[in-house]
Amino acid sequence: MDLLSISTVNWSRAQFALTAGYHWIFVPITLGLGLIMAIMETMYVRTGDIKWKNVTKFWQKIFSINFVIGVATGIILEFQFGTNWSNYSWFVGDIFGAPLAIEGIVAFFLEATFISVMLFGWNRVSKRMHLASTWLVFLGATLSAFWILVANAWMQYPVGMEFNPDTVRNEMVDFWSVVVSPVAVNKFLHAVFSGWAIGAGLVAGVAAWYLLKRRHHDFALKSMKVGAIVGLLAFVMLAVTGDGSAHEVSQKQPMKLAAMEGLYKGKEGAGLVAIGMLNPAKQAYDDEINPYIFKLEIPKLLSFLGYRNLNAFVPGVKDIIDGGYTLQDGATALSFEERKARGEMAIQALADYQTAKAEEKEAIAAGDRDKATAASEAAANHETILKENYAHFGYGYLETGTDLIPNLPLTFYSFHLMVIIGLYSILFFAILLYFVYKKELHNTKWLLYIALWSIPLPFIAGQAGWAVAEVGRQPWTIQDILPVQIAASAVSAGNIAATFVIFTVLFTGMLIAEATIMVKQIKKGPDPIAGEEA
């Protein structure tokens, strides 16, 4: 692989990461606010209290700002599969495209249809019809996230497919195994709860600002109550689904788990690193150097979380490359060299199959039955070899075992930052909810300031979570099947670099515009209710 192709791949990765990162700023706000404003409007319909209607309308304005910009970044994100990752799109487009098509046809259509009723139908439809539209917007946003995350989960754990050597494409054979795979279910729930957490943090922080400014007191208390309840629920469920996701990672992506914990050498009864600093001098095969400068470890917890057994063996980076350890099903783990050899066999078998099929076609055209039969039998033998070794297909394109190691420091620190923010947020929202129900928020200025300055933390945790998920699975676009350097398009690095700069300016401008509009709307506050002072 020459330097130009490496540069092209890295620019493609950087551009996709840029777009996805900005997209995940806007989308989780719509997921979280979607639920919160639906709860608020339900309270209005049940109680008839006009103040709940006023609260709902304010947060719907904030929702709509994020919805528009989230759609714009999402469209650009999907176009990049065709521009920068055309080999990927060709190789697995029949599978990956299906959930994305359903997302556009069903989920986004549902969301886009009812958002107009939600925003402009207050005096045009009945209360219950309007409430239904608000819940359907929330459902549409959630379903949209579901189908996108099903597609992403399939990249992490490819199931329900067969490789067709005639078309050189992967084809879906079991739709439901793709949709309800344990990786997809855990990823969807974890991402949606992350959106709830981000929305709740924003609502609680804005409500705290109003209380500190002694403005819109009743509005702020109602917002704070819903935000605190949703926030606590979301972060507790993030802990639960995070455990489920980590368990799936241990089974399907052991190298990612090793990177998350900075585990170079596996062991039985492995502990979970609560806090630690990696030693930058550490290399995978350098046993002389301690991987940590310091660490605080919870004994045996990693073995339990990964394998539900306190004494289970957790493989480290070196073990996964060298192989030889016993897997959970009793089989012996293959080394990188063994998997590379099998991958090369699969790649060669594919080439030989295509050659044999071409010879068969020529023999049939020439009327040579014996030669056609021999070519057909040869093709069948090559296809058998291909199928037997296809699970290792992608390894044939890698050079050394160290190619399997993702950016370990980024994965490690992102994971631990996410966990620390999650634990902090559970404690914070529990304390906040306690003071909300004790009706003593007015005596807790310190807590209101914490709520205000904690607004960015769920966003940071969400971005860190995606870094773990996507950086941690490198070098794979499709786990074990397709490495990134093979998935990229043959586009010049200069062109991708130019569009990277354009997108950076564009997305940054959109973010600044959104923040400016939101701040102005928040400073303005909710519309006044007749007979009530702000």
Per-residue model confidence as pLDDT tens for the chain (534 residues): 444 445 788 888 988 898 888 888 888 999 999 999 999 999 999 999 999 999 999 999 999 888 877 777 777 777 888 888 888 888 988 898 888 888 878 877 888 788 889 989 898 999 999 999 999 999 998 998 899 999 999 999 999 999 999 999 999 999 999 999 999 999 999 999 999 999 999 999 999 999 999 899 899 999 999 999 999 999 999 999 999 998 999 999 999 999 999 999 999 999 999 999 998 888 877 777 888 998 999 999 999 988 999 999 999 999 999 999 988 888 899 999 999 999 999 999 999 999 999 998 998 888 888 898 998 999 999 999 999 999 999 999 999 999 999 999 999 999 999 999 999 999 999 999 999 988 888 778 999 999 999 999 999 999 999 999 999 999 999 999 999 989 888 888 888 888 889 989 988 998 898 889 999 999 998 887 754 544
Q: Domain boundary residue among 397, 423, 439?
A: 397
Please give the residue range of the domain that contains residue 373.
Answer: 336-397
Cα separation, 437 vs 339, in Å, equals 58
Q: Are residues 125 and 230 in the same domain?
A: yes
Cα separation, 141 vs 135, in Å, equals 10
Q: Cβ of 452: how many Cβ atoms within 10 Å?
A: 16
205 within some domain: yes
Q: Are residues 7 and 121 in the same domain?
A: yes
Of 90, 152, 148, 79, residue with least CA distance to 499: 79
Q: Cβ of 296: how many Cβ atoms within 10 Å?
A: 11
Answering whether pTM is above 0.75, one says yes
Q: Cβ of 19: how many Cβ atoms within 10 Å?
A: 23
Q: Are residues 440 and 382 in the same domain?
A: no
529 within some domain: no
Beta strands of 173-290 (E only): which ranges? Answer: 267-268, 272-278
Q: Are residues 211 and 142 in the same domain?
A: yes
Q: Are residues 212 and 110 in the same domain?
A: yes
Determine what percent of the chain falls in helix, strand and coil, rounding each to the nearest 5. 75, 5, 20
Asked if 184 contacts 149 with a C-beta cutoff of 8 angstroms, the reply is yes
Q: Are residues 100 and 199 in the same domain?
A: yes
Q: Are residues 241 and 308 in the same domain?
A: no
**Bond into 475 cis (ω within 30):** yes
Q: Are residues 475 and 364 in the same domain?
A: no
Q: Are residues 361 and 495 in the same domain?
A: no
323 within some domain: no
Q: Are residues 416 and 474 in the same domain?
A: yes
Q: Are residues 388 and 428 in the same domain?
A: no
Cα separation, 488 vs 196, in Å, equals 34
331 within some domain: no
Q: Are residues 120 and 98 in the same domain?
A: yes
Asked if 143 contacts 34 with a C-beta cutoff of 8 angstroms, the reply is no
160 within some domain: yes
168 within some domain: yes
- H or E segment to which residue 164 belongs: strand 161-164
Domain count, the chain: 3
Within 8 A by CB and 6+ apart from 50, the residues are 44, 529
Q: Cβ of 330: how many Cβ atoms within 10 Å?
A: 6
Token pair in block for residue 518: 């939101």
Q: Domain boundary residue among 397, 423, 450?
A: 397
Helix (H), strand (E) counts: the chain: 18, 8
325 within some domain: no
533 within some domain: no
pLDDT digits (tens, 9 = 90+) for 54-108: 999 999 999 988 887 777 777 777 788 888 888 888 898 889 888 888 887 887 7
Token pair in block for residue 406: 């993702």
